[in-house]
Structure 1
Amino acid sequence: MARTTQALQALRTSQDRHGPVTAGRLNFAQGTALYVGAVLGTGVLALPGLTARAAGPASLVAWLALIVMSVPLAATFAALAARQPDSGGVSAYVRRAFGDRAATVVGWWFYLGAPVGIPALAFFGASYLERSTGGGGTATAGYAAGLLVVGFLANVFGVRVSGRLQLLLSGSLALLLVVGILVALPHADPANLRPFAPHGWSAIGPAAALLMWSFTGWETVTHLSAEFARPQRDIRRATVAALLVIGALYLGLAAVTVLALGSLHTATAATSLASLLELGFGSFGTILAGVIAILTTLGTMNAYIAGAAKLGAALARDRALPGALATGAQAGGVPRRSLSIVAAISATVFVFAALTHSHVQPLVLSTTACLGAVYALGSAAGARLLRHSTRGGTAAALASLATVIVLLVLTGWYVIWPLALSVAALVWCARHRPDATAATAPTP
């Protein structure tokens, strides 16, 4: 808890109370909404029920641990983003700490890894929506395609439109989740907390593994840091606000799921949010759950699409990708060429998954492995770059690095995916960037 306190103190400390004004246009509210959309994600649709089924009421311990572990990770990336607003995000920080080759590798992990998970997000939302409306697999694929189109079109018009959309989506989602919690509260029964660990305390581990999908997202907004009008002030404020909102919603939803629904079977667990809403609204609750699924999916997709597109343009600007993709890397620019690459990758993965009726789990785990690798190298860069700033910043970076190592172990064989991208990125450096340095001295 001492490290957590230090991390939060570091998060609130600013070198300049207001910070310099940049060419970006994102404000505090829009930045908070992007964070909430990226981290809250599609996990709210099923994970409270699935973790409750896996560990019983003891799953609440896993949720609490997730939130506590998120503090140092969020603190690290917020401190780095506020000190150096750059659309390169984690890649830019790794470049300062470890050099161009390492920056290229971490950039490729996110830019080529995140688009693989974007169709999974669409399928999550579409499957939940199909449960509300019916229509089978054809309807699910159609809903998923529609969600993908809306997500990418929102980013064609730039991050300002995307930020406004995100503010609407995240605000509506938070409101509906609060409503869901409140209508289920009268049905809460403290007796459902006994026995607290029906499957033993060891079941908390598998429950925590299920939550790793919800753990990702804190790095996404670093790629949009240059889009903030006052990054040194608003990035830290947005991160603290997002931590409070996300923590309250996750814990509230998980607690009321256990208290109101009690023992959950597989089918009930997968649609636990719909079950909660049905307690208060009857059959209308299923429709409302479908609306929440749309808002959740679009919010998460919007944040990842915007972040990946900006990163691709920044990588091209730094010669880590073909130079033609560099258009839009500057603050306020629209990286449409980079966005088209992200869209092409996601569309290819989506078509393959839809035609082969593939399960989304490989897409999720592949993306999680890539993002875990990004977190690991980003946390290591934070430990080096923040050592001259505050003690809390260094502690946060080291704590997040330890947490991410556990995350990578849990991904299992899917860690091969970021390893393969590492080889490809290093081959690119050897052929196109022979002058890339092995290390770059960090700036205090």
Structure 2
Amino acid sequence: MKAPTTAGGSLSVLQGTALTLAAVLGVGVVTLPALAIEEAGPASMLAWAVLIVVSVPLAATFAALGARHPDGGGVATYARLAFGGRVSTMVGWAFFLAIPIGAPVAAGFGASYVAEAAGGGRTTEIGATAVIIVVVTIMNWLGIRISAGVQLAIAAVIATLLLVAILASLPRVDTDNLTPFLTHGWSGVGAAAAVLVWAFAGWEIVSSLSAEYRHPERDIARATGITLGVVTVLYLGIAFVTVAVLGAATGRAPLADLLAGAFGDWARPLTTVIAVLLTIGAINSYFAGASRLGASLAITGAMPRWLGSDVGDGRATPRHALLVVAGLGLAVLVGEALLDQPTDATLLVTTGTFALVYVVGTAAAVRLLPGGWPRAAAVVSLVASVCLVVLTGLPVLIPIATGIAGLLWTLRRSPHPAQPRTIGGETTVAEPLR
């Protein structure tokens, strides 16, 4: 069923672009260039370039799915339409629970900069991480129009600051830093790509916001195209100047070093501002998408019905699901603090889930999208997604286990068919698992 041509939600193209940009860009741009250089040296730029090339068909695939099937369930809805309720339940559970598991990772990136600037060490970092999660929860609680408006302002500030950092660093490029190029061989490039998957996740979560657009069939493609262009310029620019300017001297905070080198040490605090804004923006998009995913799963009977009992007919913020996501995220943070684990301890589990969700989403696209370029993009995306899963390795077993647990819960519950309700453009109903 295609998306309706009438107006749907409240998101404009610019607001949708801001939410998509924040989800894809994320705070990884502040720290991941250094981690990629550790794995592959100057050749890490190849990993960035390859993942950007992969992002083109991937973004096109999810944009086409969102335009044709606007629904809060996102990938879970596509899986249900293509493969039935059991696959939908499994991918839905894995993805929904991955958001709170990954929330401390994303928030911790920004919080680490706050701790470094303000002092206080790990206590400050844990506290700042919790504050960021709470702030984003409040933003979403106030509704998609408010959070999207704030997101638009954040996106404009972030893009401007990152572009300034790139342009100001170009005069200091030293080509000697580009050799030897394949410092750790081709295997290093693959390892860098596995790390950088985090930087390119995001296309899948905004599919859960597809029903919030005013005109999904038109606006989603526009927002996706703008986002892809901005991400390409910023990611490749930051990756290049990090390698060509800092070289082997790259520290854990390359953006801070770039700004300090261009403007002096007074500019270092700007990195903290950028990191915090990137963090808030990314988590805001994921919480917005995850809350709608949870509500959609609840309405189909794949999750406890309480999660979706406060929404219907395209209105209201799914606050019940939002509270669960935020509460679980804070619980993961508390567990990491008690176990003396870093906030990025669950990074590979989260990226593994994203990669697995890409496989299911793109496989569904191959069945759901019409022939021509949409299906061709889906096939390319499916092959690339399988490669990402292979690169991620054993951590993908955890979301698989989560999905199986969700399926078992669904099979054990008493069947009480849900009433048809709409979260945006498509009516969501419970269907028998098959």
TM-score, with structure 1 as normaliser: 0.90
Match of 1:246 in 2: 231
Which residue of 359, 362, 365 corresponds with 1:382?
365
Q: Contact (CA 8 Å) 2:72, 2:208: kept in 1 or not? A: yes
Q: Where do 1:133-144 residues align within 5 Å?
A: 133-144=118-129
Q: Would the alpha carbon gap of residues 236 and 201 (structure 1) be closer, same or farther in structure 2, given more than 3 Å must change?
A: same
Match of 1:63 in 2: 48
Shift of 1:437: 4.0
- What CA distance in whole angstroms lies between the structure 1 residues aligned with 2:17 and 2:75? 19
- What CA distance in whole angstroms lies between the structure 1 residues aligned with 2:109 and 2:340? 14
Q: Does 1:312 align with 2:297?
A: no
Q: Which moved more, 1:195-204 or 1:31-40?
A: 195-204
Shift of 1:438: 5.3
Shift of 1:22: 3.1
Deviations 1:339-366 (CA, angstroms, capped at 9, x unpaired): 1111111111011112222123431111
Match of 1:301 in 2: 283
Deviations 1:347-392 (CA, angstroms, capped at 9, x unpaired): 1101111222212343111112222221111111000011xx2321
Match of 2:421 in 1: none
Q: Would the alpha carbon gap of residues 120 and 95 (structure 1) be closer, same or farther in structure 2, given more than 3 Å must change?
A: same
Shift of 1:317: 1.2
Which residue of 117, 138, 142 corresponds with 1:132?
117
Helix, strand or coil at the partner of 1:263: helix
Match of 2:174 in 1: 189
Shift of 1:204: 1.4
Which residue of 54, 61, 73 corresponds with 1:88?
73
- What CA distance in whole angstroms lies between the structure 2 residues aligned with 1:392 and 1:360? 41
Shift of 1:134: 2.2
Q: What residue ranges of structure 1 are gaps of 5+ in the alignment?
A: 1-14, 440-444
Deviations 1:21-54 (CA, angstroms, capped at 9, x unpaired): 3340000001111111001112111111222233
Deviations 1:269-319 (CA, angstroms, capped at 9, x unpaired): 311111001012212221000000101100110000000001111111111
- What CA distance in whole angstroms lies between the structure 1 residues aligned with 2:130 and 2:340? 14
Q: Would the alpha carbon gap of residues 429 and 60 (structure 1) be closer, same or farther in structure 2, given more than 3 Å must change?
A: same
Q: Does 1:43 align with 2:28?
A: yes
Match of 1:397 in 2: 378
Q: Contact (CA 8 Å) 1:310, 1:329: kept in 2 or not? A: no
Helix, strand or coil at the partner of 1:211: helix
Match of 2:337 in 1: 354
Shift of 1:330: 4.0
- What CA distance in whole angstroms lies between the structure 1 residues aligned with 2:82 and 2:271? 45
Which residue of 263, 273, 290 corresponds with 1:291?
273
Q: Does 1:407 align with 2:391?
A: no
Match of 2:240 in 1: 255
Match of 2:427 in 1: none
Q: Does 1:145 align with 2:127?
A: no
Q: Does 1:328 align with 2:311?
A: yes
Q: Contact (CA 8 Å) 2:86, 2:433: kept in 1 or not? A: yes
Match of 2:320 in 1: 337
Q: Would the alpha carbon gap of residues 233 and 182 (structure 1) be closer, same or farther in structure 2, given more than 3 Å must change?
A: same
Deviations 1:170-208 (CA, angstroms, capped at 9, x unpaired): 111111101111221221122322332233343212221
Match of 1:203 in 2: 188
Q: Which amino acid aligns with 1:271?
A: A
The percentage of aligned residue pairs carrying the same residue is 47
- What CA distance in whole angstroms lies between the structure 1 residues aligned with 2:106 and 2:31? 13
- What CA distance in whole angstroms lies between the structure 1 residues aligned with 2:394 and 2:343? 16
Match of 1:372 in 2: 355
- What CA distance in whole angstroms lies between the structure 2 residues aligned with 1:115 and 1:271? 25
Q: Does 1:113 align with 2:95?
A: no
- What CA distance in whole angstroms lies between the structure 2 residues aligned with 1:427 and 1:199? 44
Aligned residues: 418
- What CA distance in whole angstroms lies between the structure 1 residues aligned with 2:180 and 2:394? 35
